[in-house]
Amino acid sequence: MKESFMLALENRFPRWNGAIAIIFAASLFLLAYLMQRKHCSKLRTSAAALLYFYIFNVLVTTLLMRTPYSYYRCTLEIQFVNQIFVQKDLYALSEALLNIMMFLIPSIFLPFFFKEHEALKTLCCGLGFTLFIEITQYFTRLGELQTDDLIMNFSGCLLGVLIYFTLRLTISFFKEKIAILRCKRLHKVICRAFLFLKWHIYEIFY
């Protein structure tokens, strides 16, 4: 399993060249300019730049670093179920896991950039992005349009959104608990202060 996963990872690892670096630098400059025009904070701009760096590397590994085939490739049949669960193909399992992970990571952080309808917008972005990759791969012959890839990529997007909401609910829960504890402590301090003043007032007048 480890060897199959490392082989799949090596094949997927983004390989840059001068042209890809220039495209990235120009697009990153444009992103920074747009974020500045919208008066975004430095933290938000930095987070957007990191997320864009990851997404750009996804484009590199799926499109930009590839050599075109001499023919169009398309597989609409769902094959991963048979390959993974029947044939026990470890390389197919590794490919499926990488396709899920590829969209899982940005789907955890992308919702933080939306003020409302985070899940719906993130899922739409994920679906649109994977459709863009698969359709571009087909028409440019840089890869193969596969239903398996669409399913795995969107599954990663769904899982990322679930992780985001789990993190958000966990953070809200602990914030609420901390607020309750602070209120209890403040209540104790006020009660002690009241008893202290009451005792001293009693001593003064009685």
Q: What percent of the chain has pLDDT over 70?
A: 86
pLDDT of residue 94: 92
Q: pLDDT at residue 205 above 60?
A: no
Per-residue pLDDT band at 7 (split at 50, 70, 90): confident
Per-residue pLDDT band at 197 (split at 50, 70, 90): low
Local structure of 163: helix, strand or coil: helix
Residue type, 32: A
93-123: per-residue pLDDT in tens? 999 999 999 999 999 999 988 888 999 999 9
Domain boundaries, given as residue ranges, for the chain: 2-202
Helix axes 18-37, 42-59, angle to 10 degrees: 150
With helix as H, strand as E and coil as C, how does 84-100 read?
HHHCCCHHHHHHHHHHH
Distance CA 152, CA 79 (A): 12
Higher pLDDT, 98 or 3: 98
Q: pLDDT at residue 194 above 60?
A: no
Nearest to 158 by CA among 100, 117, 109, 114: 100
DSSP 114: -
